[in-house]
Amino acid sequence: MTVSPPAEVLDPATDVPLSVALRTGTRDDHAAAERSAFVEHLVGGTLPLAGYVDLAAQQHAVYTALEAAGDRLVAAGTDGGLVFSELVRVPAIEADLAHLLGDDWRAQVRELPATTAYVARLAEVGDDLPRYAAHAYTRYLGDLSGGQVLKRMIERHHGLSGAGVSFYDFPQIHRLKPFKDVYRERLDALALTPAQRDEVVEEARVAFRLNRALFADLAEAHVR
């Protein structure tokens, strides 16, 4: 009689690595995010500056929650090598908002409902490394990829350079491509069963949906 082995972690020889599963599993969500009205107006130069400033304000709340979760994982010694100081965005967003709105920026911004929902999800799942990984992947690899396109477009359309768009600058990362490769290697090194890998992909799809909902709220406020 053969006894089935216990659920094993991913076998690199036979199983799809997490980074590949994430890319393929979120391809449609990515295309939908790129096509959202808010992003199209941001890229096309038809979004008023106030819309970009509001995006920064919402991102402040989101990254505060994401990076607090990362800090808790580091403190617990369970961050799986996925929390990088080079990626931390909150100080850059605060500098951008101070540049764009002045030192009293906190009194001028408010949280949109989709942001509140996104922050709540991060608080709910962020202490669990696989699900933290899903959210960190969705934001940071996006910022290191399409974010660089967005930066050039925002600078061009709103006459900004550096100050106000430092969110998209990673001064401690000299070459983005090798850094992204290391990030993907860290994802692939997480000890996950195939079922857990699929759960990470599902949570990344949740993260994309939360981003789309945020873009929808921002579009309602700023796209005419």
Pick the closer one to ligand HEM by CB: 43 or 68: 43
CB of 104 to ligand HEM, least distance (A): 29
Query: What CA–CA distances, in Å, run from 56 to 101, 138, 205, 216?
Result: 11, 17, 22, 15
Sole residue written with tokens 């393929």? 24
The alpha carbon dihedral of 95, 101, 102, 106 has a sign of negative
Determine which residue in the list 16, 37, 43, 90 makes contact with ligand HEM, applying CB under 6 A.
43
Output the CA angle 186-174-17, nearest 5 degrees.
20
Beta carbons of 69 and 127 less than 8 angstroms apart: yes
Query: What CA–CA distances, in Å, run from 84 to 57, 81, 154, 160, 179?
Result: 22, 8, 26, 27, 11
Contacting range for ligand HEM; rule: CB under 6 A; set: 32-40, 50-58, 66-74, 124-132: 32-40
DSSP 8-state code for residue 137: I
CB of 140 to ligand HEM, least distance (A): 8
Instruction: Map the footprint of ligand HEM across residues 192-221, applying CB under 6 A.
Output: 208, 211
Query: What CA–CA distances, in Å, run from 120 to 12, 54, 124, 159?
Result: 34, 19, 6, 35
State the binding string over 147-186 for ligand HEM (x if CB under 6 A, else -).
--xx-----------------------------x------
Pick the closer one to ligand HEM by CB: 168 or 208: 208
Q: How many residues bind ligand HEM (CB under 6 A)?
A: 18
CB of 138 to ligand HEM, least distance (A): 5
Contact residues toward ligand HEM (CB under 6 A) are 22-23, 30, 33-34, 39, 43, 137-138, 141-142, 145-146, 149-150, 180, 208, 211
